[in-house]
Amino acid sequence: MAKAMAAALCFVTPVLSSFLFVGCAARPFYPLPSRFPGEIRQPLQTNRPYNIAHRGSNGEFPEETLPAYKRAIEEGADFIETDILSSKDGALICFHDVTLDEITDVGKYKKFANRKRTYEVQGVNITGFFTVDFTLKELQSLRVKQRFPYRDQQYNGKFSIITFEDFIAVALDAPRVVGIYPEIKNPVFINQHVKWPDGKIFEDKFVEILKKYGYQGSYLSKNWMNQPVFIQSFAPTSIIHISNLTDLPKILLIDDTTIPTQDTNQSYWEIISDSYFNYIKKYVVGIGPWKDTVVPAVNNYILTPTDLVTRAHAHNLQVHPYTFRNEYNFVHFNFHQDPYEEFDYWINTIGVDGLFTDFTGSLHHFKKWTSNLPPKDDDADEQKASDLLHKIYLMINSYRSP
C-alpha cells in the first residue's frame, strides 16, 4: 500500500515540486514480489488431468479458508476451487452453504439470534442463518470450522470467511501459475435476495471481479495460460448469460440425474443427452458431473460405468467429476480402501480430464509417481534421479543369473 501511494504521488506532484519529481524518477521500480511476470513463473501443467483442489485442501483445513487454499497450492493443485455466494450488501464471498449454521459459530452470538429465517431454496424450505441476511463485515466476524467430524478439528474457530477477491489474491500470489475454479452458486436464490445497483445481477458481479483482476481469454489462450480459470455452474442460464460477458472457459456442473436444475427446471437426465450436449457445447468447454453419474455405485461397490464420458468426449467436452475423498467411507470397496487405486481407475480406465478432490496432495503424488511430466518442469530433477536409478537397476540385473 505504501509503495502504491508513493508511486501515485509521483504522477500528481512533479509540477508542484521538482525535488519530489527527481526523487521519484531516481527511485527504481522493482516488480512486487507478489506479481511475478508470467514467464518466470512455472506454468500450469496441461499434460495430465487437472488436480482441482475442492474447497482448498479441506481434508486438512476448514473449507474455503486462506490456509486451506495455501495448503492446496503447496501440495500441487493445478486449480483452487471455490463456491461464490453473496452477502446482504452484495459482496461476493467464498462459502458453500446458503446458511452459516453448519460450519460457522454464528449460533453463539446473541446479537444475531433474530436473523434466523426460513426461505425456499431450490424447491425446499430451509431454516437457518443465511449469508444474504448478513453484511460482509458481519460475515467476516464469524469463524469457520471443519465440516466433517472425522477430520482435524484443531483449526476450528481460527479462520474467517474470505471474499472472492481474497481468494483470487491467493492464486495470483502463488509462486507458480495456479488456476482458479469458482462456482456461481445458487444464482436463482442469490438474485431473489440481493439487489445490486444499475440492474446488475449476481452473474454480472461475478464476471466483473474476474475482469478486475485481469482474467480473460479463451481456454489455452496466452492470457488464459497466465491466469487460468474455469467458471462453473449448475445453472445453464447463468452459463449462457455470462457467455455474453466473457469468453473464459465454462464448465456445466451435472447433479444426480433425478434432480431438476434450479433455473430451467430440467432434469439432469435431459442435460446429459446428446442433443443437449450439442446445444451446450457452444457455451462450455466441459462438464463437471457428480461421479456416480459416470460410475454408479450400490452398497459401496461401483457398477458398470455409463457412457457419459465417451459421449462427452465425442462432443469435445472435458469431464471433471466430483468429489474424490481419501476416507474409507468414500472410497468404494472395489478399490481395497486405497485412494490411489481409485485415482488410477478414474484417470486410466475412465479417462477423465480433471478431478475435484479434498486431498490435493494425494492426487498430486499419485500423478507424479505414475505419469511424470516431461523434463523441464518441477519434476525434472526427480525424473533424472529416477532415470539414474533405473540404469543402476538394469546394470545390477545384468549381473544376476536368470
Ligand X SMILES: *[C@@H]1O[C@H](CO)[C@@H](O)[C@H](O)[C@H]1NC(C)=O
Binding site for ligand X (CB under 6 A): 120, 123-125, 240-241, 244, 260, 265
Residue 104 identity: T
Which own/partner pairs from 241-246 qualify as long-range (CB within 8 Å, at least 24 positions apart)? 241/201, 241/203, 242/184, 242/203, 242/206, 242/207, 243/283, 245/203, 245/204, 245/207, 246/207, 246/210, 246/211, 246/215, 246/216
| Cα–Cα dist 322/58, whole Å | 14
- Closest CB 235 distance from ligand X, rounded Å: 12
**With respect to ligand X, which residue has the nearer C-beta, 122 or 141?**
122
- Closest CB 120 distance from ligand X, rounded Å: 5
- Closest CB 82 distance from ligand X, rounded Å: 24
**With respect to ligand X, which residue has the nearer C-beta, 240 or 331?**
240
- Closest CB 121 distance from ligand X, rounded Å: 9
- Closest CB 173 distance from ligand X, rounded Å: 34
| Cα–Cα dist 325/323, whole Å | 6
Give every CB contact of residue 339 below 8 A, 6+ residues apart in sequence.
324, 326, 331, 359, 362, 366
Q: In 3D, which of 189, 97, 94, 86 has the Cα closest to residue 134?
A: 86
**With respect to ligand X, which residue has the nearer C-beta, 120 or 378?**
120
Residue 134 identity: F
**With respect to ligand X, which residue has the nearer C-beta, 265 or 398?**
265
| Cα–Cα dist 292/259, whole Å | 13
**With respect to ligand X, which residue has the nearer C-beta, 5 or 124?**
124
Number of continuous H segments (helices) and E segments (strands) in the chain: 16, 13
**With respect to ligand X, which residue has the nearer C-beta, 208 or 379?**
208
**With respect to ligand X, which residue has the nearer C-beta, 183 or 203?**
203
- Closest CB 243 distance from ligand X, rounded Å: 7
- Closest CB 125 distance from ligand X, rounded Å: 4
Fill in the DSSP letter of residue 198.
G
Fill in the DSSP letter of residue 317.
-
Residue 278 identity: N
| Unique residue bearing C-alpha cell 487437472 | 50
Contact status, residue 52 vs residue 81, Cβ threshold 8 Å: yes
Query: SS3 of 105, please?
Result: coil
**With respect to ligand X, which residue has the nearer C-beta, 128 or 361?**
128
Fill in the DSSP letter of residue 65.
S
- Closest CB 202 distance from ligand X, rounded Å: 14
- Closest CB 361 distance from ligand X, rounded Å: 40
Give every CB contact of residue 23 below 8 A, 6+ residues apart in sequence.
none
**With respect to ligand X, which residue has the nearer C-beta, 244 or 329?**
244
